[in-house]
Amino acid sequence: MECSKCRSRHDDRHPDHRLRHGGCHIGRRRAERCADRGSGAGDHLADSPAARDPQAIFRDGVFRPDETWLDGQGEPFNPGNYYCVGGNSKFYGAALIRFRETDFAPVRHMGGTTSGWPFDYAELEPWYQAAEEMYEVRGCLGEDPTEPPHSGRYPHPPVPDEPEIAALRARLVRIGLHPSSLPLAVDLPRWLARGQTPWDAFPDTDGSKMDAESVGMRRALSFENVTLHTGMHVDRLLADDAGRITAVQVTGPDGRSEIAARSFVLAAGAVNSAAILLRSATDAYPNGLANRSDQVGRNFMNHNCSAALAIHPWRKIVPSIKRRFRSTTSMESLMPATCLLATFNCLGASPARSSPRRPGCRGPLPDGSRIMRLIST
Ligand SMILES: Cc1cc2nc3c(=O)[nH]c(=O)nc-3n(C[C@H](O)[C@H](O)[C@H](O)COP(=O)(O)OP(=O)(O)OC[C@H]3O[C@@H](n4cnc5c(N)ncnc54)[C@H](O)[C@@H]3O)c2cc1C
């Protein structure tokens, strides 16, 4: 069947198609702005002026893939999924928060009770500790009453508050709340030396964020028997009749080839790992590999997202931000305030809400969103 969206031959009723649809739209990269991004087949991110340019990142979406995915209703959208060595962690906010003890236990939801994890927090704790040391996390224990037990301290003190945040923290403490510093894996002085920008959603091109490339991959590559192949797109896994993976089929600069090994780890991100399993269907496994349940690639959801944004009206606001805020709220009405806090709670937010036409911008807040403004004078 020809897909109505991309004109290629897929069965667009099949979930695999919905997941892998993006692959059909991998077009010419915006090479002039970011020569070595890849799609799926990622390469090292190179430094460029765009790396610290909020307009390029948020408005023009220069680091986003030239891919179109379909949401559950078949609507196209451009995913905020980055393909490069280090994956999405190159762009992450570097907040490395441990799960709480209760996160591992069965949880009762309206639709039923989850089974819980096969291990508990205590079993994982030494690995959290080791990871925090490896990723040089900056944080502070004792501030957050929900913090689970730690066997050691954070390797570095927390990133210091800016003056406005320090004042806000003091006021929150005064009314009995418990503001706490986020555990952050960023070398702040080094990050700021490259440019005075925040780091969440900005790509790490010089290793001043502790991410999967600057820490994990660098350590892995220090072993002689580790080789990194970049620019390789994993098309599918090849399995024998018993369902054991024997090789992986890849397409790289020299065309298609197969890589055989004794063991494989599939770690292409939540969506692409599922898409690869579905693409690897055989006569013996027509629903894809590891998919007897027929649940692979289904039930995706974004995390519940709560955030607080503080805008200081007397600090310089770039005109584009001011324009954007004008469209949703009256900037002038906020000017007498010393501080605006906008908190929003996106319940069940779907990435499909991203605007397909303006890849750098999110669409309207999802249903169930709550916007609250607190204006303090
Ligand atoms: C802007 C932003 C901010 C974030 N902030 C935080 C934060 O503060 N704290 C936090 O904990 N998390 C944060 N996250 C989420 C975090 O980055 C991801 O959860 C994490 O990177 C997922 O890791 P992963 O290895 O599972 O997948 P990914 O990071 O997606 O890595 C998958 C890798 O597989 C490659 N790949 C995919 N498909 C193929 C294919 N077919 N062939 C070959 N290679 C392929 C990709 O190129 C990539 O290198 C943030 C994410 C974003 C985008």
Question: Which DSSP string corresponds to 81-128?
Answer: ---STTGGGGTS--B-PPPPGGGGS--EETTEE----SS-HHHHHHHH
Element (H, E) at 341: strand 339-346
372: CA distance to ligand 1 center in Å?
A: 30
357: CA distance to ligand 1 center in Å?
A: 23
For position 375, what pLDDT does the model report? 29
Sorted by sequence, the CB contacts under 8 Å of residue 296 that are 6+ apart come out as: 274, 277, 278, 287, 288, 290
Could you tell me which of 301, 261, 86, 43 has the C-alpha nearest to residue 185?
86
* Alpha carbons 20 and 279: distance in angstroms, whole number: 8
Q: Ligand 1 atom 52: the closest Cα is on which residue? A: 92
For position 87, what pLDDT does the model report? 96
Sorted by sequence, the CB contacts under 8 Å of residue 238 that are 6+ apart come out as: 245, 246, 247, 248, 249, 258, 280
CA angle 96, 98, 102 (to 5 degrees): 155
Count of positions (residues) in the chain? 377
268 lines ligand 1 (CB under 6 A): yes
Could you tell me which of 352, 282, 257 has the C-alpha nearest to residue 41?
257
* Alpha carbons 128 and 121: distance in angstroms, whole number: 9
235: CA distance to ligand 1 center in Å?
A: 18
Mean pLDDT by 10 residues, the chain (377 residues): 38 37 28 34 90 94 91 87 95 96 92 93 98 97 95 96 89 94 95 93 96 97 95 95 94 95 95 95 94 90 68 62 45 35 37 35 33 28
87: CA distance to ligand 1 center in Å?
A: 4
272: CA distance to ligand 1 center in Å?
A: 10
For position 363, what pLDDT does the model report? 37
Q: Ligand 1 atom 49: the closest Cα is on which residue? A: 87
CA distances to 88, 197, 374 from 310, rounded to whole Å, are: 25, 16, 10
For position 72, what pLDDT does the model report? 78
Alpha-helix residue ranges (DSSP H) falling in 25-69: 54
Q: Ligand 1 atom 35: the closest Cα is on which residue? A: 268
42 lines ligand 1 (CB under 6 A): yes
41 lines ligand 1 (CB under 6 A): yes
Q: Ligand 1 atom 2: the closest Cα is on which residue? A: 92
* Alpha carbons 175 and 172: distance in angstroms, whole number: 5
For position 100, what pLDDT does the model report? 94
Substitution candidate for ligand 1 out of 45, 62, 82, 92 with most atoms within 8 A of CB: 92
- The ligand 1 atom at the shortest distance from the C-alpha of residue 235 is 41
